[in-house]
Amino acid sequence: MKNQFFNLKTITLALSSLLLIVGCSEDDKVDGASTPIETKDASDRWITVAGAKMGTNPGDGNGGTLVYTVSSQNAKDPNKVIAPFDNGYVVPSNRTARLQASEDGNTLFNITYAGDTGGSFFKYTVGGGQEFNQIGLPVTVAQYVGTAPRWIKLFDGDNTGAAVYVSTNDIIDDKGTDDVTDDVYQKTESKIAVVTINLADQAINEFKEHTISLNDIDAAKGYYISRIDMPVLNASGDKLYIGAQVRKKDPTTLEGDSDYEILGSKTIVLDYPSLDNPSIISSTIGHGNTNGYRSINAFEYNGDVYQANQSDPEGSHILKIGTNNQYDDTFDFNLDDALGVTGAYVLAWRPAANGKAVLAYRHEGSEEGAAGAQGFFALVDLNAKTATKINKIPYSADFYLFQYQGFAVYGNEIYVTEAPVGQDGNIYVIDTETGVVTKGAQLKNIEGSHFIGTF
């Protein structure tokens, strides 16, 4: 079905967006800073740098999201200075915006997160510097997936986005009699909502809701799907995989358990584009969650889908889902083993077309900084199942990557941001084929804020 709603909230959002565009035009100066003119050659790609401003606490990112764009050549120039917090474009969002970019870097997408205006899809052309021009009116998906949806751009030629939401309900069998009540916990059901967005037309493609639960044995023990995120298409484009977080509650008290056996990693599979026929697949190699956090957590490569997991007792894995739409349990890629650490935790990652990826991670023993545990970058080879820490990027206790979102990919190159919370840093460019790391443009920071990636 194709529906598009323009209610009072939508009109208000459109007016708010217009004000933001006017307020952050290329002639303006944010915080008194001058706005340089940015240009690029036709052979270059725009690289959009995103920063999350502090709200209350260092690194919380709740003060708003600002973006600024330079050419790929300028991104590699260590003499270039980029200051999104001083002269960037303010992306509408109550909290940290959830950003996506087109494959060529010329278009930026955002769904506002939380607050009265949450759940609204915006689309912009990228013009360089702080020039981001809104295309059309925002489209609200809040009535489908709430005001704080998880969403992602599918890798289908920039045609489709998918947003998801889940709510839960405890099923109790009331066996009470006139004299005694004997309620028995059966399971916790998860109601999932999935909506797909036509990115070109800025309209709703399809919307479906399903009620699902784990197998009878696990469900009766109190296991349930508590969060979903990071949809990805399979190679043939007929299945949509959605990452899942599994939690457990005590069947006798219905309170959340904190010490329990972690189940095999799980993914929800839907027919695509209909979004029908939900099923759940499980891994025997990886345990823990597959929903990720704010960055894409699964990618199609060479016909298969590769997916990171989190909170695995044996350290994060890169898991493989084969063309039969089941986990390939012969593919064992343990990042603890590959990196030589304990408790590896994938925060974000992105492969280039050659199957080599840059991965943001932390591990047991990571120093605690102003905002949380210190992060690191690694170069990963999916074919060889290797992962190597990138030592040419400087690290400090305040280098915080938990909210990291984006990796701009240009050919075999992947662009990352390096700057501790509240401190200046640089763009770094990793040639995934050769392993060469180039120190690029300077990143100017402000107190308590941090960079959340490139797009």
Give me 175's structure tokens: 């066996």
Q: Residue range 329-355: average pLDDT?
A: 98
Q: Strand, coil or helix: what is 348? A: strand
Domain extent listing, the chain: 1-140, 149-331, 344-447
Q: Model pTM?
A: 0.91
- Say what the pLDDT of residue 95 is: 85
- pLDDT class for 10, splitting at 50, 70, 90? very low
pLDDT in tens, 171-182: 998 765 555 567
Q: Residue range 77-93: average pLDDT?
A: 96
Given a cut of 50, whether residue 86 has pLDDT beyond it is yes
Share of the chain above pLDDT 70, in %: 91
Range with lowest mean pLDDT among 174-178, 214-218, 338-342: 174-178
- pLDDT class for 13, splitting at 50, 70, 90? very low
Whether 241 and 266 have beta carbons less than 8 Å apart is answered as no
- Say what the pLDDT of residue 115 is: 87
| End-to-end Cα distance, the chain | 31
Whether 443 and 49 have beta carbons less than 8 Å apart is answered as yes
Q: Which residues pair with 358 in a beta bridge?
A: 350, 379
Whether 295 and 453 have beta carbons less than 8 Å apart is answered as yes
- Say what the pLDDT of residue 181 is: 60
Burial 33-55 (b: 16+ CB within 10 A, else e): eebbebebeeebbbbbbbbbbbb
Task: Give the β-pairing of 437-443 and 81-82.
Answer: parallel
- Say what the pLDDT of residue 27 is: 39
- Say what the pLDDT of residue 189 is: 98
Task: Give the β-pairing of 425-431 and 160-174.
Answer: unpaired
- Say what the pLDDT of residue 454 is: 98
Pick from 258, 178, 195, 205: which is nearest to 231 by CA? 195
- pLDDT class for 210, splitting at 50, 70, 90? very high
User: Average pLDDT of the chain?
Assistant: 92
Q: Residue range 106-123: average pLDDT?
A: 94
pLDDT in tens, 438-454: 999 999 999 999 999 99
Q: What is the distance, to the nearest Å, from the Cα of residue 329 to the centroid of all Cα atoms in its chain?
A: 25
Pick from 421, 318, 323: which is nearest to 367 by CA? 421
Q: Residue range 355-378: average pLDDT?
A: 98
Given a cut of 90, whether residue 250 has pLDDT beyond it is yes
Given a cut of 70, whether residue 11 has pLDDT beyond it is no
- SS3 sequence, 163-176? EEEEEEEEEEEECC
Mind giving me the DSSP string for 96-108? S-EEEE-TTSSEE
Place of tokens 């200051």: 83
Q: Residue range 361-389: average pLDDT?
A: 98
Q: Which amino acid is residue 152, in one-letter code?
A: I
- Say what the pLDDT of residue 422 is: 98
Given a cut of 50, whether residue 19 has pLDDT beyond it is no
Give me 12's structure tokens: 């208000």
Whether 53 and 413 have beta carbons less than 8 Å apart is answered as no
Q: Residue range 343-363: average pLDDT?
A: 98
- pLDDT class for 436, splitting at 50, 70, 90? very high
The sign one gets for the Cα dihedral 312, 169, 214, 248 is positive
Backbone torsions φ then ψ of 212, nearest 5 degrees = -130, 160
Q: Residue range 275-282: average pLDDT?
A: 98
- pLDDT class for 412, splitting at 50, 70, 90? very high
Give me 230's structure tokens: 């990071």
Range with lowest mean pLDDT among 13-27, 34-48, 71-85, 257-271: 13-27
- pLDDT class for 117, splitting at 50, 70, 90? confident
pLDDT in tens, 27-69: 334 444 456 689 999 889 999 999 999 999 999 999 999 999 9
Taking the C-alpha atoms of residue 212 and residue 225, their distance in angstroms, rounded to an integer, is 8
- Say what the pLDDT of residue 174 is: 75
- Say what the pLDDT of residue 15 is: 37
Q: Residue range 215-234: average pLDDT?
A: 98
CA distances from 63 to 52, 92, 96, 206, 419 (A): 7, 11, 8, 33, 18
What single DSSP character describes residue 263? P
- Say what the pLDDT of residue 175 is: 67
